[in-house]
Chain A
């Protein structure tokens, strides 16, 4: 195992990838965003013949986006790109909210939601729910600051709100208690759900 860092403005990673290739590594893991080098790494791994040699690429939720295969090429990534994301397979979302979201999103945008569309939807759900629950306090509040505080208090107290991928509850630090993670593999032109990963990173 080896560690390395890249500059997000760089676009030429061949020197670094040659080192990875020479080391005989099985997997490259990188916390990338779509616009900070992730697709370039995948593209240049392909150009250097690393995918053909059986090296895989793994990244996190920000790469769970169809922008990645579009920028690289679905054929090159086929079976070679793993991503983690905090949701089960999209057609197996456990909640009613999630199923409705997926159905409506598909109908409206004619494609699957990416990782961050689900996060944004969840975030909006939490905000709207907090405002709703804080309504009496908002009406009673004297000034704007108190109104805002009422919403914030309600937000931290969010408990078992039905989100896209399951109930949302915050702990005292504001972290989500019940985060469900899954691993996906890019295959046949889409991200295919592989398995769930629990909080202690054990596969289920």
Chain B
């Protein structure tokens, strides 16, 4: 592998890690924007997206690589069903665990979220076991530069990378458009700015919160399914790890800011890829969290955050 090839490979790795982190980070940032809660159970929704889509594939009897219309039908069907499940689940969690604490001091729902996270992790462990879980290799893997373009290179860029980016990026763009252009998006922005004032203007704040949880959960669920298709592996603790990094991404980008969360996700992805290469993977966490601390010291509101913390 030449230096150039290595650099390109690292960029690809960074983008792929970043794109699923960004998708999870969106859920953290949206919920924070609306109700100022760091929803620590969010990483586990991503994990459950993995498990639910795996179960659905099992029900459909999918074990190996598919092709043609069957592939797209299964992929789109399972993805929509997973989004629906994780979205509703996230909404239910809000209804059961966070809504009764809406007027409580901020620490109460925060601790509840941590507890919720443990609960989901342990339920998943009982459900699917504590070992590595194999995810069927549904999506065909074709080495694009070598097999399609006829180039001779050591850079590995496959159809799976395209799938990962091709699903996550449009979802992020779609979410941005949804928040910017729809009536619901406007209501979300208003609620994020001032929940009481928005309610006085006739916005059903609880409905906005429910939608936010649903959308965030659906995005995290998609991330879980896509990571399953991409890595073909998972564990009940995968949400803890990814959740921590996604949360860091959200804070780095400026929590409450949707564009910031995406930027933060890609930033952490690149940081991880380059730190693993040029330093040591033992140091990667330290690099990630040190960067977070530095950003918070010199720009407390994050990269794109504004002085007021309540922004979406």
**Which A residues are within 8 Å of any B CB, using their own CB?**
3-7, 9-12, 14-16, 18-19, 21-22, 24, 34-35, 39-40, 43-44, 47-49, 67, 70-71
Contacts and interface: CB of A to CB of B under 8 A. Distances in A.
B281 A16 contact: yes
Contacts, number: 86
Nearest to A50: B156
Given A5-B281, A22-B1, A11 B276 contact: no
B231 interface: yes
Contacts of B232: 43, 47
Interface residues of B, number: 35
Contacts of A6: 281
Interface centre among A14, A15, A34, A70 (most CB of B within 10 A): A15
Contact of A18 (B9, B130, B143, B285): B9
A110 to B, nearest CB: 20
A19 B232 CA distance: 21
B6 A11 contact: no
B162 interface: no
B1 A11 contact: no
A43 B281 CA distance: 19
A43 B13 contact: no
B13 A14 contact: yes
A40 B132 contact: yes
14 contacts: A6-B281, A7-B241, A11-B132, A11-B227, A11-B231, A14-B13, A15-B276, A18-B276, A21-B154, A24-B1, A43-B231, A43-B233, A47-B141, A48-B156
A70 B156 CA distance: 25
A21 B1 CA distance: 8
A11 B234 contact: yes
Given A21-B1, A40-B132, A15 B241 contact: no
A3 B280 contact: yes
By Cβ-Cβ distance, the 4 closest A-B pairs, closest first, are: A15-B276, A5-B282, A35-B131, A22-B1
B207 interface: no
A25 to B, nearest CB: 12
Contacts of A67: 131
A44 B231 contact: yes
B10 interface: yes
A75 to B, nearest CB: 12
Contact of B17 (A4, A15, A47): A15
Contact of B276 (A19, A43, A48, A49): A19
Interface string B25-60: 000000000000000000000000000000000000
Interface of B: 1, 6, 9-10, 13-14, 16-17, 130-132, 134, 141, 143, 154, 156, 227, 231-235, 237-238, 240-241, 272-273, 276-277, 280-282, 284-285
B239 to A, nearest CB: 9
A14 B12 CA distance: 11
Contacts of A5: 280-282
Given A9-B237, A9-B241, A21-B1, 12 more contacts: A7-B241, A9-B235, A10-B241, A11-B227, A11-B235, A11-B238, A15-B10, A19-B276, A22-B6, A34-B132, A43-B232, A71-B132
Which of A4, A10, A12 gathers the greatest number of chain B CB atoms within 10 Å?
A12
B241 A11 contact: yes
B132 A15 contact: no
A165 to B, nearest CB: 26
Contacts of B227: 11-12
| Among A11, A16, A22, A49: residue with most chain B CB under 10 A | A11
Given A4-B280, A11-B241, A48-B156, A35 B235 contact: yes
Contacts of A11: 132, 227, 231, 233-235, 238, 241
A71 B133 CA distance: 7
A22 B132 CA distance: 27
A12 B277 contact: no
B235 A18 contact: no
A56 B143 CA distance: 21
B238 A9 contact: yes
Contacts of A21: 1, 154
Contact of B13 (A3, A15, A40): A15
B232 to A, nearest CB: 6
Contacts of B13: 14-15, 18
A39 B132 contact: yes
A35 B284 CA distance: 22
Nearest to B276: A15
Nearest to B133: A71
Contacts of A35: 130-132, 235
A15 to B, nearest CB: 4
